[in-house]
Amino acid sequence: MKNKKISGAEAVIHCLLNEGVDLVWGYPGGAIMPVYDEFYKFQDKLKHVLARHEQGAIHAAQGYARSSGRVGVAIATSGPGATNLVTGIADAQIDSTPVVCITGQVPSHLLGSDAFQETDIIGISMPVTKWNYQITKASEIPEIFAKAFYIAKSGRPGPVLIDITKDAQFELFEYDYKKCNGIRSYIPYPEVNDDSIDHAVKLINQAKKPLIVWGQGVILGNAEEEFKNFVEKSGIPAAWTILGLSALPTSHELNVGMVGMHGNYGPNILTNKCDLLIAVGMRFDDRVTGDPSKYASQAKVIHLEIDPAEVDKNIKVDVPVIGNCKESLQMITNKIDKRSHKKWISKFDDLMKIEFDKVIKSDLSPNKKGLTMGESIIAINEFTNGDAIIVTDVGQHQMVACRYANFIKSKSNITSGGLGTMGFALPAAMGAKMGALEREVVAVIGDGGYQMTIQELGTIFQLQIPVKIVILNNDFLGMVRQWQQLFFDKRYASTEMINPDFVTIAKGYYIDSERVKNRKDLKPAVERMIKSKKPYVLEVCVEKEDNVFPMIPSGASVSDIRLD
């Protein structure tokens, strides 16, 4: 390719191919049209998926990245096309998802003139990207793309945005691509300090009541095996944040459940009873800690984290272990004593029995008048055997799915964690399926979030993406309604929904669909859905005013967790 002149638009395609990209999600428009013309010419080498909305494209790229472990790519035009990506970019930033977004821009001589469909997407996206850059000369394209992919996937992953003016897309230049393997002053993988390892080992060996809380850093670091070895040799009970879910099988004997606002009773209560808290690849989000002044204040805290900015940000740490947990976990495991903590673990078992009697038994009760979200998730477990990727939206159904879904493989729980983006699940599920074609992908969505990106049924139909969609319909914005019931004297302001006929809408997109209202019909319907080789929509009409417990009220201590 060197010494041969090509256009900037063609260079974009070659850059993507040089980075091993085979799938791009996007939506065309005037300012990015030269690149789309090249997509047409290279369609045998690079697949472009036409989303129905740019937000659908970025969420699909996120789902693809989360299921495949690769960098997702989304592309849009200038102005509204670019701004429609911003919610997904912000979601990717806070959830550490590696995506590269490409946006078209008005010609460089029009920048700053308020030209048609001009927005300052660099300024808009700066707070929610790991890095961004505006290209105004075609010759910049190879270096900037190489940097973009390196930054997006290295260290703590995140979103990168490249804005390309239209004249740069037309301009000819001599293309030469060199992959980026390092950037001055950017240290994505800090060197693990031996002293911090030794200090951590000493505390672990001395602890009588230790607790591990792990997050998505285990998955992003490809450290699942190292983490499992650490848990098993240390004998320490381990609890997860929602983004960490599936790094360790849910059936593992030392997996004691979820922490946080709607987490399990035992790990939340015992966070404030442990003498050592070992945080692995998590950032002490407020949904996990509740009131930080009352969070594990009695315990020594070890924090394994790749991003130094997260250490001591929310919770004061006694031993920071900076670096990739794949490396630091192995170093710690090699040095700790092999132990068991049976008496301590029995306390988690005792609290789980209380939770079962007061919460789980009701969630899964066959005696309730209406169907519950919990029994819907159990039915999915039965026909997927814990081997499916479950993609959830945001709300009650999300918490219920995280609590009751079974997982035997990593990268199986895909959800919007930090930003809490309604509308995430449907496009993310089609992206997840394209990133892991060999796996069953089930989207579990509430009736509210489903309607925010329902247009992506068009993408699913056009490509016949065999994703399974379960709508848990309670005719409410359920999580907001629950808060209104508990904290606002049941003033249900703007949360009840009069919904359309979801089955008819799915059939309008030529997608197989059915509705379940009675308990006896649930399992047969789930079985039909899972056995189908095509996309499928299953609407499950659940009780309207069911609540999700346990629950830690906002701003309360984890010790204040409520069971009703």
Say if residue 315's pLDDT is above 90: yes
Positions marked catalytic: 54, 116-117, 166, 479
Q: Do the domain assignments include residue 562?
A: no
CA angle 340, 206, 326 (to 5 degrees): 70
pLDDT at 333 over 90: yes
265 and 406 inside one domain:
no
Same domain, 85 and 113: yes
Residue 283 falls inside a structural domain:
yes
* 499 and 375, same domain (yes or no): yes
Q: What is the pLDDT of residue 38?
A: 98
pLDDT digits (tens, 9 = 90+) for 531-560: 999 999 999 999 999 999 999 998 999 999
- Taking alpha carbons only, the member of 75, 98, 209, 106 closest to residue 159 is 98
Closest CA to 421 of 51, 63, 49, 48: 63
162 and 47 both lie in a single domain = yes
Dihedral angle sign, alpha carbons of residues 397, 402, 407, 411: positive
d(CA 159, CA 96): 8
> Are both 17 and 132 inside the same structural domain?
yes
Same domain, 342 and 404: no
Is 378 found in the same domain as 341? no
Residue 84 placed within a domain: yes
In this prediction, residue 236 has a pLDDT band, given cuts at 50, 70 and 90, of: very high
CATH classification at residue 240:
3.40.50.1220
CA dihedral 179, 134, 164, 168 (to 10 degrees): -90
* Pair 137, 252 in one domain: no
Q: Mean of the per-residue pLDDT values for the chain?
A: 97
Which residues on neighbouring strands pair with residue 443, listed in sequence order?
Answer: 391, 469
Confidence of residue 516 (pLDDT cuts 50, 70, 90): very high
- Give yes or no: residues 116 and 74 share one domain: yes
Q: Is there a single domain that holds both residue 373 and residue 341?
A: no
pTM above 0.85? yes
Question: What's residue 1's pLDDT?
Answer: 59
* Token duo for residue 467: 């994703």
Indicate the pLDDT class of residue 367, thresholds 50, 70 and 90.
confident
Burial 249-258 (b: 16+ CB within 10 A, else e): bbeeebbbbb
Quick check: 52 and 420 in contact, CB under 8 A? no
Q: What is the CA radius of gyration of the chain?
A: 24
How confident is the model over 413-458, as pLDDT tens digits? 999 999 999 999 999 999 999 999 999 999 999 999 999 999 999 9
Angle 33-41/8-18 helices, nearest 10 degrees? 60
Average pLDDT over residues 33-45: 97
Model confidence at 143: pLDDT above 70:
yes
Whether 182 is covered by a domain: the verdict is: no
Decide: 156 and 25 in contact? Cβ < 8 Å.
no
Residue 526: give its domain's CATH number: 3.40.50.970
Answer whether 158's CB lies under 8 Å from 101's CB.
no
pLDDT value at 340 more than 70: yes
Q: Please report whether residue 160 resides in a domain.
A: yes
pLDDT digits (tens, 9 = 90+) for 154-191: 999 999 999 999 999 999 999 999 999 999 999 999 99
Q: Centre a 10 Å sphere on the Cβ of residue 316 and count the other Cβ atoms it contains.
A: 14
In a domain, 354, yes or no: no
Q: What is the mean pLDDT of residues 266-283?
A: 98
Domain co-membership, 408 together with 441: yes
Would 479 be classed as within a structural domain? yes
CA angle 549, 356, 241 (to 5 degrees): 55
Residues 524, 442: Cα–Cα separation, whole Å: 16
**554 located within any domain:** no
pLDDT of residue 3: 66
Q: How many domains does the chain have?
A: 3
The residue to which tokens 């399990």 are assigned: 264
The domain containing residue 117 runs over which residues? Answer: 5-174
Same domain, 63 and 121: yes
Q: Could you say which of 174, 205, 221 is where a domain stops?
A: 174
Q: What is the pLDDT of residue 81?
A: 98
